[in-house]
Amino acid sequence: MISREDRREAEDQIARLIYTYCHRLDGADLEGAASLFENARWQLSPEVVCHGKAEHLAALEEPIIVYGDKLGTRHMVANLITDVADDGLTAHSMSYVISFQVVEGFPLQPIFQGRYEDTFALTDGTWHFTSRTVHADGAGDMSHHHKSA
């Protein structure tokens, strides 16, 4: 049985992974964002399922418009709930995500809302993603974010 202190530490490390993904993505570090899914499944939709860093990176690079060193986005994660298994080796989390974007000629506005459903594993003392499923609940004007919008 995992101790309360170890459970809290796991929750903190997992939250940091989730937030790190957002920071890397917003900073146009697509490779860094994809690297968090080195050995994980990432599902954006039923049609877009990636396994590992290379597939995830390709799924990001193909549609996303990059403006120099930024995307003009802010991915805001809220209502994070993390459940760590009693053995302390796996975890599951759910959270809400809203993406805002502002670029020249495009005023600040929400462009996406949805939920992240993530799973994690502890390997050699380090937490890592094992999967992420993105559940899209709605989208705004994505014309300045996705090439095909």
**Mean pLDDT of the chain, nearest integer:** 97
Domain ranges, ordered by start, for the chain: 4-139
Q: In the prediction, which pLDDT does 37 show? A: 98
Task: Write out the two tokens for 92.
Answer: 């599951």
Distances (CA, A) of 115 to 17, 79, 105: 16, 10, 28
DSSP reduced 3-state for 118: strand
Q: In the prediction, which pLDDT does 52 show? A: 97
Q: In the prediction, which pLDDT does 149 show? A: 73
Which among 79, 103, 107 is positioned nearest to 93, based on CA atoms? 79
Write out residues in the chain with pLDDT < 50, as ranges: none
- pLDDT digits 0-9 by tens, 109-118: 999 999 999 9
Instruction: Judge contact between 103 and 26, C-beta under 8 A.
Output: no
- Write down the pTM of the prediction: 0.94
Q: In the prediction, which pLDDT does 145 show? A: 96
- pLDDT digits 0-9 by tens, 138-149: 999 999 999 987
Q: Which CATH number is associated with domain 4-139?
A: 3.10.450.50
Q: In the prediction, which pLDDT does 129 show? A: 99
